[in-house]
Amino acid sequence: MKKTTTLLLFLCAICSISAQDLMTNVYGRNFQSLNGKWDAIIDLYDQGHKNQIYQNKKPQGKTDFFEYSFENGLRLNVPSDWNSQIPELKYYEGTVWYARRFDAKKEAGKRLFLYFGAVNYRCRIYLNGTEIGKHEGGFTPFQIEVTDKVKEADNFLAVEVNNTRTVDAIPAMAFDWWNYGGITRDVMLVTTPNTYIKDYFIQLDKDKANQIDVRVQLSENTANTNIQIEIPELKISQKLTTNSEGVAQTSIQNIKKLERWSPASPKLYNVIVSSDNDRVEEQIGFRNIAVKGEDIYLNDAPIFLKSISFHEEIPQRMGRAFSEPDAMMLLSEAKALGCNMIRLAHYPQNEYTVRLAEKMGFLLWEEIPIWQGIDFENEQTKTKAGNMIKEMVMRDKNRCALTFWGVANETQPSAPRNEFLKHLIQCCKDIDNTRLIIAAFDLVRFDRNRQVFVMNDPFIKELDVVAVNKYMGWYHQWPVTPDKAIWDVAKGQPLIISEFGGEALYGQTGNADVVSSWSEDYQATLFHDNLEMFKHIPNLRGTSPWILFDFRSPFRFHPTNQEGWNRKGLVSDQGFRKKAWYIMKEYYNNK
């Protein structure tokens, strides 16, 4: 009971200090990396607060002693998950304390921020023995200002991380992927001027091919500050002035010789945003995306989305993906498959993956983990979800590859669900009203009277594009042969088959018509049958088989064919391509 009480206090305590609004493009700033080996303490019974281990006290006299020490104990890599680093933590869910020391260069007229790319799932941050912030959500970044809290030398930073699943969390108690705990993405100490360029949104106008819309916001409500926007290759140099809210905005019209970004030609331009005392530089692409009737248009032409999903996991390492080489491994396999889009399942993935995908010419669907089992009647959960989706949009809104903001996956219709998802849609649109809104449903059924597949969920009218997960031949038997599987779903809107497939153990042969063979042969039959069915979906505008790689999941109990892995991958956990990979490769080549 004591552990439960401690956990509830950890989750529900009201703290006056919380993570602050994000600055745009942290990788374009002046920062000091805090990655590397961190000291760690496993706190199975949540005794860290009682012992005040975040103060890291040392014995001062003969009678002093403390029942903890960060030094000379466990050390964990940051970024990384803890589950893959030592065998004892493979299944661990609970609290782990991280700690390290660092020096900080303090300069007059400069501010300092601690920036965390992601910590799974909830955390509290302590600096030099004092709590300075907290965050909930395992897949989005947060920052905390520490200008007046750091010392020039020997700062002690402690992070209390807890990945315990709870009913009010996002995702909730049960989800079909591994619950990796830890500081899973980069940690930085970022230096800015006192008044810095906090945010900017620079993109091609939603409808016009020769107009770039610009909005820049300073960290302070400072009027009459000079802002300059430069895109040297386009010979653009535009001067702006901030209003009383520290915002400057304009539309740069009649741009000559602008090459729009596309999967075939992923053109990016060097963009410089500067003020009187700050400067941020990065690469941005420009494209138009829209829905017209049942079609999705990219740069004024309809496009079929040849997609694939993957988790933020390196299967060969059995751990979280967290670096640019990790991103290259995952994306290169998607490129070889012939894809032009990635569905980042089922949560915002690290910024290396997003930025590299853009450079390689992938459209992106990014979502937060509203994956089954969410408590839609809980107002606190709704607020958390809104915060998460805002953090996702704030981080990636300048990435032209981002095509879809995803608000849900496999949810059941209800009034509370509808209001919850409407809130998420509005959170996206408050920041960015130019992207397409999408959600994936698993509600399609076969109407035996009409002999067609149908779906009844009026909420789809709130979306720009409708997506459907349907595992014909795996979780659902065929009611008719695939060549007679007619669909009447989301008529008048573009439809994407966002998940389909079945499990196969790499190298396993068996009857091509026996589901329980777990064979590549049956998986190949299943793919052939589904591709035949797709011919009879008139508004089909994209497919995304589930999934690129086999991935770890505590859902999967079969002792010989699964062993804790979801085997739906087109590629095995060892990196070998299954027969179904070649079937999808041919399908995409012919699209």
Binning pLDDT at 50, 70 and 90, where does residue 21 land? confident
Do residues 190 and 142 lie in contact, with contact meaning Cβ atoms separated by under 8 Å? no
Question: Would you say 136 and 69 are in contact if contact means Cβ atoms under 8 Å apart?
Answer: no
Q: For residue 157, is pLDDT > 80?
A: yes
Give the C-alpha separation, 203 to 199, whole Å.
13
Judge residue 67's burial from the number of C-beta atoms within 10 Å of its C-beta, 0-12 exposed, 13-18 middle, 19 or more buried: exposed
**First CA to last CA across the chain, in angstroms?**
59
Predicted TM-score of the model (pTM): 0.94
Sign of torsion over alpha carbons 554, 558, 559, 565: negative
- Secondary structure, 3-state, 556-573: CCCCCCCCCEECCCCECC
Residues 94 and 153 in one domain: yes
Assess whether 534 and 413 both reside in one domain.
Answer: yes
pLDDT digits (tens, 9 = 90+) for 390-424: 999 999 999 999 999 999 999 999 999 999 999 99
The pLDDT of residue 537 = 98
**Is residue 2 very low, low, confident or very high in pLDDT (cuts 50, 70, 90)?**
very low
Considering the domain boundaries, does residue 186 fall inside one?
yes
- Express as a percent the part of the chain with pLDDT over 70: 97
Four-residue CA torsion sign, 295, 300, 302, 305: negative
- Answer positive or negative: Cα dihedral of 64, 66, 71, 72: positive
Q: How far apart are CA 398 and CA 385, in angstroms?
A: 21
By C-alpha distance, which of 177, 101, 113, 175 is closest to 144?
A: 113
Same domain, 283 and 310: no
Q: Are 501 and 454 in contact (CB under 8 A)?
A: no
Question: By three-state DSSP, how is residue 99 classified?
Answer: strand
Could you tell me what percent of the chain has a pLDDT over 90?
95
Task: Note the pLDDT tens digit of each residue in 512-533.
Answer: 999 999 999 999 999 999 999 9
Residue 70: CB atoms within 10 Å: 21
Last residue of a domain, one of 161, 192, 223: 192
Number of domains in the chain: 3
Q: Residue 254 contacts by C-beta under 8 Å, 6 or more apart in sequence?
A: 210, 211
pLDDT of residue 17: 52
d(CA 241, CA 227): 6
Q: What does the DSSP 8-state code read for residue 459?
A: G
Strand partners, 441: 468
Q: Is the pLDDT of residue 107 over 80?
A: yes
Q: How far apart are CA 453 and CA 487, in angstroms?
A: 5
> Pick from 287, 302, 318: which residue ends a domain?
287
Residue type, 535: K
Q: Which domain holds residue 280?
A: 206-287
Kindly report the CATH number assigned to the domain that includes residue 574.
Answer: 3.20.20.80
Segment among 68-72, 291-295, 307-311, 332-336 with least mean pLDDT:
68-72
What is the mean pLDDT of the segment spanning 127-137?
A: 97
Instruction: Compute and round to an integer the Cα radius of gyration of the chain.
Output: 25
Residue 9's pLDDT is 41
In a domain, 129, yes or no: yes
Residue 155 burial (CB count, 10 A): 17
How many whole angstroms separate alpha carbon 89 and alpha carbon 203? Answer: 44
How far, in Å, CA of 175 to CA of 186, rounded?
A: 25
Closest CA to 230 of 267, 273, 196: 273
**Token pair of 465, please?**
């594009």
Q: Judge whether 200 lies within some domain.
A: no
Q: CB 362: neighbour CB atoms within 10 A?
A: 25
Per-residue model confidence as pLDDT tens digits over 45-68: 999 999 999 999 999 999 988 889
- Closest to 500 (Cα-Cα) out of 485, 517, 484: 485
Q: How far apart are CA 19 and CA 146, in angstroms?
A: 11
Which of 287, 321, 345 terminates a domain? The answer is 287
**CATH number of 27's domain:** 2.60.120.260
Whichever domain contains 228, its CATH number is 2.60.40.10
Q: What is the rounded distance in angstroms from the CA atom of residue 484 to the CA atom of residue 535?
A: 10
Q: Name, in order, each residue with C-beta under 8 angstroms of 310's C-beta and a sequence gap of 6 or more.
A: 330, 334, 342, 344, 345, 547, 548, 549, 551
Q: Which amino acid is at 120?
A: N
- pLDDT reported for residue 16: 41
Residue 449 in domain: yes
Is residue 64 located within the same domain as residue 112? Answer: yes
